[in-house]
Structure 1
Amino acid sequence: MAQKLQLTVEIPDEYVLITKVEYEKLKKNADRGNSWETIAWFKQQVGIKHPDTLKTRILYPYRSELEKFVKYPEKKGSPWRFHKGATLDWLENNFERLIRGNNTLQGTK
């Protein structure tokens, strides 16, 4: 004969109980943000360590698309700036195209 156990857990008012799916969605949105990031951040996102490789494989070939949310340097030595949320969205939406065009992104020096 199966037994049932009924349990009541009190959750303090400063805590909220949500589903794991909801939590992951909130976490993903928090990671995206509206901040501006550096080229070091972008290199980490795509797994390319060398800035010249990054420029020849992604930043210059896709410039017309990226200029909407990437600030290209006006002159040598000026900083790159990447709108975090828009950049992450673009990378996610174009992942297959980037992989096909570059054979591989991960592990590239």
Structure 2
Amino acid sequence: MQEISTNVVIQFPSEFVLITKLEFEELKQHELTGTYWSMKDLERRTNKKHDWIKEHILYPERHRKVLDIEYGGFAFYPKSKGQTWSFHASRMAEFLDKNFQAIFLES
């Protein structure tokens, strides 16, 4: 069997960078760091309307005990008119990922 070897030079435009898959995953993981979601953000992320989100995710007691900041969670539940929902984005995303089956099977 014969073997041929060659060197190839590939040029990337200066606005591109080449990183490892591990670095890419770490960047993706940190993209939500320091970010808060509103109810509208949560609607976009879940592709569900706020009524469904409240009924199936936010108000069931089993989830509220984990989510509500009053219980040490990462979601602010409005207490009076004019206040808005607020969610710690990275922790909420993690909660949604970990509880996907429970949320949809119990719907």
2:48 matched residue in structure 1: 48
2:23 matched residue in structure 1: 22
Per-residue CA distance 1:49-97 (angstroms, 9 max, x = gap): 2x22221111101211111100000113321001111111111111121
Which TM-score applies when normalising by structure 1? 0.75
Asked whether 1:76 is paired with 2:102, we answer no
Between the aligned partners of 2:26 and 2:103, the Cα distance in structure 1 is 25
What root-mean-square deviation, in Å, do the aligned CA atoms of Structure 1 and Structure 2 show? 2.5
Aligned length: 100
**Residue 57 of structure 1 aligns to a residue in which SS?**
helix
Between the aligned partners of 2:58 and 2:94, the Cα distance in structure 1 is 15
Instruction: Give, in angstroms, the shift of residue 22 of structure 1.
Output: 2.5
**Residue 106 of structure 2 aligns to a residue in which SS?**
helix
2:64 matched residue in structure 1: 63
1:107 matched residue in structure 2: none
**Residue 82 of structure 1 aligns to a residue in which SS?**
strand
* Structure possessing the higher relative contact order (Cα contacts under 8 Å, 6 or more residues apart): 1
Q: Which residues of structure 2 form unaligned runs of 5+? A: none
Percent of aligned pairs sharing the same letter: 30
1:3 matched residue in structure 2: 4
Q: Which residues of structure 1 form unaligned runs of 5+? A: 103-109
Between the aligned partners of 2:94 and 2:84, the Cα distance in structure 1 is 22
- Aligned residue runs from structure 1 range 78-97, under 5 A: 78-97=83-102
Counterpart amino acid of 2:22? Answer: V
Counterpart amino acid of 1:28? Answer: Q
Per-residue CA distance 1:2-43 (angstroms, 9 max, x = gap): 3100246689xxx8643123213312321x212222000011
